Amino acid sequence: MRVGWGRALGAIALALFATPAFAQPLPYHADPDAREMLPSLTPIPAIRFLTTADFPPFNFRDTGGELVGFNIDLAKRICAEVNVACTIQAWPWDQAANALSDSQGDALIAGLAMTEENGALFDFSSTYLALPGRFVTQAGDVEGFDPAALADQRIGVRTGSAHEAFLERYLPELERVGFDSEISGMEAVKSGSIHAWFGDALRASFWLNENLGCCGFAGGAYFRPSLFGEGMTIAVPAGHDPVRHAIDWALVRLKENGALDELYLRWFPVGFY
């Protein structure tokens, strides 16, 4: 099971290459207590990363057939930080986890969800990119946006989603309008048939990248791992602690030296935090 969402964002992801980054809040998910953490003393000659080629903008092939994406760049930076050799091999999504279990690689960086089933087979790194929920409104409604003042407004949400469950639990007074997809809901914001949309901020950021003159994120980001998932992590075979510790150590270092922020700004010009 892949974290949160589907596998068909290729055209939108490719458009990001030509889009400038905007001033935006930057994520920080590294554990502050891990600042003094040392990498494992067990020698790691290399990290063999497994990924897929169908999950833009995280891991996909560009027009020249080269494997690129946020996860690809991150894997290379991790290896450089730990100072080990690095290989990255793409597998079909339905075979990637099995390949990791069969020792075809040391780590899977492809959005494998931290489910109970996966937890029985794999250990996971710390979260390097959480996936919050956010409101989207027309541009004129962004400034001064207050969720507490939405009681008389129509708010769109995907039917049956974790984001609908969030609104039911935390903002039950809102008038919810159900949609079958995120795109149709945000198009309804654009047309003015609903006042706001609440959903996955990452998916919304891609739509906003194509609709900057119309709409924007309103209010803050909502982080609820119990509803929206733990976010993006790296899976390693259960018990392979030296590799996992090295990855966690590298993630802290990459945040502190600015490399993680650099990658975030490059691949997500419309930030979702």
Angle between helices 70-82 and 241-256 (to 10 degrees): 100
Mean pLDDT of 55-66: 94
pTM, two decimals, is 0.83
Q: Which distant-in-sequence residues (6+ apart) come within 8 Å of 78 by Cβ?
A: 47, 86, 246, 247, 250, 251, 254
Q: In this structure, what token pair is assigned to residue 123? A: 């250990």
The answer to whether 178 touches 241, Cβ cutoff 8 Å, is no
The answer to whether 87 touches 71, Cβ cutoff 8 Å, is no
Q: Tell me which amino acid residue 207 is.
A: W
Q: What is the CA radius of gyration of the chain?
A: 19
Q: Is the pLDDT of residue 24 over 50?
A: yes
Measured CA distances, 99 to 51, 143, 190, 215, 271 (Å): 10, 48, 43, 42, 33
Per cent of the chain over pLDDT 90 is: 73
Mean pLDDT of 73-83: 96
Tens of pLDDT, residues 127-140: 999 899 999 999 99
The answer to whether 107 touches 68, Cβ cutoff 8 Å, is no
The answer to whether 131 touches 231, Cβ cutoff 8 Å, is yes
The answer to whether 197 touches 218, Cβ cutoff 8 Å, is no
| Neighbour order of strands in the sheet with 54-55 | 54-55, 59-61, 67-68
